[in-house]
């Protein structure tokens, strides 16, 4: 009985405790207040950007600390905040997917504030369930796999890491494709339609949990690295054979 009571207690208290997380714990809970505290130093007053030339150009050749946010809209604000890309610690570092220091209410307030700075795109509502998996695979291979690998495990491009996509939600995938964060190219609707985007998202979601074909998956890193691993083992075995034969000859 006591145990059951404890379980009910935990079930009731824990989620509400998590939900009541204070976020960054600043007094200003309005989007404008949060912006002033965490974003203004790099993105400037009213999102005009900080383009001082006294700073060395970063990897994006961005002179200054942060780009203007006037027309990025709710779409980019939602992407950069829900992925924890922003607030950035160092303007010359690549943003990475981490847990946001803000809670959901603070993110919503910041997104609304950035959206109010100018006319920009709204947060997209993708429908991956309407997508087609095999079309998604061929579109992903054509447009994305060069950087993110065919199974969406991520990879390296010059000066940047193309992250694995298993952490990204359908909305974040749709946003990333339209924004082209950091060194990723932007794909407007003229290049990838919303229907094609649904198929790409369906494929990325599937690639997170592919039907397991059995065998040794090597972390499902794709056919090329898998081939390399096979060659590496074969090459090591060959060298070992040569050494053994060579030693026999010496004797």
Return residues touching ligand HEC (CB under 6 A): 38-39, 41-43, 62, 65-67, 69, 72, 76-77, 80-81, 83, 85-88, 91, 94-95, 97, 110, 114, 143-144, 146-148, 157, 160, 162-163, 165, 167-168, 172-173, 176-177, 179, 181-185, 187, 200
Using CA atoms, how far residue 51 sits from 116, 176, 180, 183, in Å, is 21, 24, 21, 19
The number of beta carbons lying within 10 Å of the beta carbon of residue 198 is 21
Cβ proximity to ligand HEC, 22 vs 213, nearer residue: 22
User: What whole-number distance in Å separates Cα of residue 192 and Cα of residue 163?
Assistant: 21
Cβ proximity to ligand HEC, 148 vs 150, nearer residue: 148
Closest distance of CB 25 from ligand HEC, Å:
14
Closest distance of CB 185 from ligand HEC, Å:
6
Closest distance of CB 81 from ligand HEC, Å:
6
CB of 170 closer than 8 Å to CB of 201? yes
CB of 136 closer than 8 Å to CB of 200? yes
Cβ proximity to ligand HEC, 45 vs 241, nearer residue: 45
Closest distance of CB 178 from ligand HEC, Å:
10
Cβ proximity to ligand HEC, 166 vs 250, nearer residue: 166
CB of 75 closer than 8 Å to CB of 171? no
Closest distance of CB 212 from ligand HEC, Å:
23
Q: Is 143 exposed, middle or buried (0-12, 13-18, 19+ CB in 10 A)?
A: middle
Q: Which two tokens stand for residue 72?
A: 């990025």
Cβ proximity to ligand HEC, 208 vs 219, nearer residue: 208
CB of 78 closer than 8 Å to CB of 123? yes
């Amino acid at each position: 009985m006591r145990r059951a009571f404890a379980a009910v207690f935990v079930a009731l208290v824990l989620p509400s405790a998590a939900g009541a997380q204070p976020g960054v714990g600043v007094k200003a809970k309005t989007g404008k207040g949060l912006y002033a505290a965490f974003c203004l130093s790099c993105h400037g007053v009213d999102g005009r950007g900080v383009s001082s030339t006294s700073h060395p150009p970063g990897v994006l050749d961005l002179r200054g600390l942060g780009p203007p946010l006037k027309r990025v809209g709710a779409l980019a604000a939602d992407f950069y905040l829900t992925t924890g890309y922003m607030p950035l610690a160092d303007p010359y570092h690549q943003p990475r997917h981490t847990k946001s220091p803000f809670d959901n209410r603070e993110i919503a307030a910041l997104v609304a504030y950035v959206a109010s700075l100018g006319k920009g795109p709204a947060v997209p509502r993708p429908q991956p369930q309407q997508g087609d998996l095999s079309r998604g695979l061929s579109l992903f291979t054509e447009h994305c796999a060069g950087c993110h690998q065919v199974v969406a495990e991520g990879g390296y491009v010059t000066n940047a890491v193309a992250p694995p996509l298993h952490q990204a939600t359908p909305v974040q995938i749709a946003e990333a494709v339209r924004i082209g964060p950091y060194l990723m190219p932007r794909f407007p609707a003229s290049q990838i339609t919303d229907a094609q985007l649904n198929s790409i998202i369906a494929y990325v979601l599937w690639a997170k949990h592919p039907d397991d074909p059995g065998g040794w998956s090597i972390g499902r890193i794709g056919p090329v690295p898998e081939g390399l691993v096979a060659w590496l083992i074969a090459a090591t075995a060959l060298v070992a054979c040569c050494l053994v034969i060579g030693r026999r000859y010496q004797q």
